[in-house]
Amino acid sequence: MAARFLRRYTDLPSLLYLLSERKLSLLNPDNWDDSNDSYLLNLYRTWMGLASVLAVCFTQVDETYHHWRVFAPGPSGICIRFKRAELLGQLDDQSGIRMGAVSYLKLIAMRRRTPPFDDLPFLKRQAFANEREFRVIYESKRGHKEKLDIPIPLACIDKITLSPWLHPALFPNARSMLKSITGVRPIPIVHSTLVSSTQWKSLAEKVAKRGHNSRQVLSSQSSDSPTHSTSTLSAGA
């Protein structure tokens, strides 16, 4: 069953552009951190005789530390949660678009069986499998492009989460600034508590308190137990 939401981890400038322009940007993958990724996309572009292959990536999983740290590090990191069906419906209307879940393979699998050539833009090494990536690519034979903007309604956005490393004192101002953009007010904007959760700490305190009380009860019961002493009469007494 497909995930109901797609999450995009990015930074504040990218979010501001999306909200103000109502456009999702697909970019040249040459500067991606994983050079294996960009190599496969460029290999696909070359052998297909394409002028441009652009991409934008999402994840199909809930919030994780890995996604924040790798794709949206620091206090300006952002997670945009999109309504999957609404977003993909908008992207599907754009010519030249392909999209799908990424497949993860070990080296031995690549050696033993040759994946279809068309799958190259959607392949990654097994070590990245926990990312559960969903990728959208644009391919064109007409002129080189570094970026493609696809119009999307803000109604495609379900929620915006600001970085767990954003200082709590700065969150209200950041939220107000984003809410001031036309059309953004109905979208929930929250502060991630992934690395500092009051609820998690409160529950941990309850666990500790219950454990402490249980130990006190056991200790009390042990001290209240009667002790049995044995008298030994000396022979001939």
Quick one: pLDDT at residue 222?
A: 67
Q: Place 235 in a pLDDT band, splitting at 50, 70 and 90.
A: very low
Q: Place 200 in a pLDDT band, splitting at 50, 70 and 90.
A: confident
Quick one: pLDDT at residue 40?
A: 94
Quick one: pLDDT at residue 115?
A: 86
Candidates 146, 177, 153, 144; CA nearest to 78 is 177
Which pTM value belongs to this model? 0.85
Rounded CA separation 192/76 (Å): 12
Q: Does residue 23 carry a pLDDT above 50?
A: yes
Quick one: pLDDT at residue 55?
A: 97
Q: Does residue 180 carry a pLDDT above 60?
A: yes
Burial class (CB in 10 A: 0-12, 13-18, 19+), 231: exposed
Question: Looking at residues 109-133, what average pLDDT do you find?
Answer: 91
Q: Does residue 236 carry a pLDDT above 50?
A: no
